[in-house]
Amino acid sequence: MLAERRFSIITGHAHVLWQGTTRGFMGRLLVLLMISCWPAPSFAAHERVALVLANADYGALGKLSNTVNDARALARVLETYGYHVTLKINSTRAAMLDAMEEFADEASGAKVAIVYYAGHGLNLNGRDIIAPIDMFYNCRKKKYKRAIPLSRLRDAVQGVPKQVFILDSCRNASFPDCPTRGTAASTGFRGLGRLATAGAEVLIANATAEGSLAQDGPANGHSPFAASLLRHLKSSPKAYLLDILSYVSKDVAKATNGEQIPEYKIQGGAPRICMDAGKCGQTKATAAEPPGDAKPAPKARGFDGGIVLAYQKALLTGTREAYEAFLKAHPGTEYAAKIQKVLIRQTDEDSWNKARGRDTIASYENYLELFPDGLYRAAARKRMASLKANMDQASARDEDFTTPDAQSAPAAGKGNWVVILGSYPHRSKAKAIDRIGRLARKGLRAKLADTDDFPNLRNGLWAVVLGPFDRREALSRLRRARRLIRGAYVKSLY
């Protein structure tokens, strides 16, 4: 029996009417197929997003007073200006990592992302970390558990064109059994400039300079950095964020008598954003009096706001020329000493990059001679040990490749074939040796041959080879070697 049915399908904003004469089962099947194939409704991604994290109720690390107040106040301000805000308070390691992963999904497709963190932030054993409330640190043994690498904040905003990181960390609550200043547990982030993402405009704001502590502020109030930031964001919605931060820096330096100087870093160009989206242009933040009874500390003798702005300008420029110009203009000041430390750190990093580029024992020895207490001293010693071990292994396996006697060369096809896995100029012997070590870990027992010693090989190279074999065995070894090295080939030595 034929039945007439009317089907109405509503999906998203689409309304499809289908009317026809069908048999019962086939009609229902057709409708189900139509529904399953209909495109799912699309939801507009948030263009401006923010992740606000704050921790205060630390167990082993010592509680903080105002981080939660600061984060909640900032979240309210950002929401007022149209940001889609994710706020997480007093989170364990697992909860913080979950929040970052969820935020990464929300930030997908966004144009602007702001990440704010208030809580303990440290450099431990050369690693920049942020501390969840369940982190444990032993000062005496210099061991820690449940820390989160600072780089995880960067991972949460991968692909966003304009990125802002605000780190109000390294606060002045001492850890149990730890000196407040000058220890691994209180020296602040070293990696302030290492958060950048390729192709993005990135602004990184740290509430205090490297090696210094950020003040937490009066009880039930705000930190000096957060108080100034909130004040300027509210009063100057059209001001560019970079301009606001410059005035925040001046406010914080004044309020703390110059003891706390925020540091900023730009990579890939400064993100030109303001709170009032699409209506930016006011180039100067409006100065405003602190709300209520909050008053800055008395002005220190000799305090100069102009030198603070010059200091920040040099840091933002980030070039050796800018640092040297500042030192020339402001010699003998405390800010000159800070710039001198930045220059030393930059020279340290440049020397390390050169050593890594050459990748020889001599280059790492030279780095350690210049910077015996450098940031990368442990990595340099580890790499030197690896190169020396590889060299010893290569030396033990290369007795077959000595300078040949012309009269002792084997007959053609009689054990004079090798499988060549790679070759390096004579000046890059260390790289060839390192390659042998890496191949050994994959099960290939390669040797090092000087091509100048063999008439049938191109001169001036160190060759990484398997053999020598007869031709048949060499071809058999070649087939196995190409599973790891596609460019491997066989060659006769004579």
Average of pLDDT values for 286-295? 42
Amino acid identity of residue 25, one-letter, is F
Give the lowest-confidence range in 225-229, 333-337, 422-426.
333-337
Domain ranges of the chain: 3-37, 48-290, 399-492
Backbone phi, then psi, for 97, in 5-degree steps?
A: -65, -40
* Token pair belonging to 433: 């040796």
| pLDDT tens by residue, 109-129 | 899 999 999 988 877 666 778
* Token pair belonging to 16: 């499809």
pLDDT of residue 256: 83
Burial status of residue 454 (CB atoms within 10 A of its CB: 0-12, 13-18, 19 or more): buried
For residues 128 and 394, the model is more confident at 128
Confidence check: pLDDT of 60 > 60: yes
Single pTM value for the model: 0.55
Average of pLDDT values for 401-430? 67
Confidence check: pLDDT of 161 > 90: yes
For residues 395 and 98, the model is more confident at 98
d(CA 327, CA 372) in angstroms, rounded, equals 25
pLDDT of residue 68: 92
CB 8 within 8 A of CB 32: no
Confidence label for 89 from pLDDT (cuts 50, 70 and 90): very high
- CATH architecture of the domain with range 48-290: 3-Layer(aba) Sandwich (3.40)
Most confident of 280-294, 304-318, 453-467: 453-467
For residues 305 and 260, the model is more confident at 260
- Using alpha carbons only, what angle is made at residue 154 by residues 148 and 157, rounded to the nearest 5 degrees? 125
**Are 48-290 and 399-492 in the same CATH fold?**
no
Calculate what percentage of the chain has a pLDDT beyond 70.
Answer: 72
Confidence label for 433 from pLDDT (cuts 50, 70 and 90): confident
Question: DSSP letters along 143-193, please?
Answer: EEES-EETHHHHHTTTT-SEEEEEEEE-BSPPPTTS-SSSSTTSS--S-TT
pLDDT of residue 278: 66
User: Which residue in 180, 184, 89 sits closest to 128, CA to CA?
Assistant: 184
Confidence check: pLDDT of 355 > 90: no
As a whole number of Å, the CA-based R_g of the chain is: 32
Question: Which CATH code for domain 399-492?
Answer: 3.30.70.1070
Amino acid identity of residue 405, one-letter, is D
| pLDDT tens by residue, 227-284 | 999 999 988 888 889 889 888 988 888 888 877 888 888 888 888 888 887 677 654 4
Average of pLDDT values for 412-435? 81
CB 300 within 8 A of CB 260: no
pLDDT of residue 415: 76
Residues contacting 277, CB < 8 A, separation 6+: 47, 48, 81, 82
